[in-house]
Amino acid sequence: MLGFMVNFKEVQELEYLLKREMDELLFDFEDTRIDIIVKRAMEERYQILFNLYRRIASPADCAKYMRQKKEFYP
């Protein structure tokens, strides 16, 4: 197991960066021009970011970014 210590300001910065990246991915999920394969990769990235966000954010904040499992079919 790995870990690192951060102060409150660094946690706020991490939270801001993760939220910004997840918002961008959520916006891109709605774009119909993006290929299915790319959306699957985006979904994997989103799950990684969300898992990191879940470690530092409150449950109420996490609820805003929860996604339903969705399969991308043509």
pLDDT over 90 at 9, yes or no: yes
18 in the Ramachandran plot: left (φ > 0), alpha (ψ -120 to 50) or beta? alpha
Domain membership of residue 34 (yes or no) is yes
Nearest to 48 by CA among 31, 27, 29, 65: 65
For 37, the domain range is 8-65
* Overall domain count for the chain: 1
Cβ atoms 74, 39 nearer than 8 A: no
Q: Examine residue 2 and state whether it is found in any structural domain, yes or no.
A: no
pLDDT tens-digit map of 13-44: 999 999 999 999 999 999 999 999 999 999 99
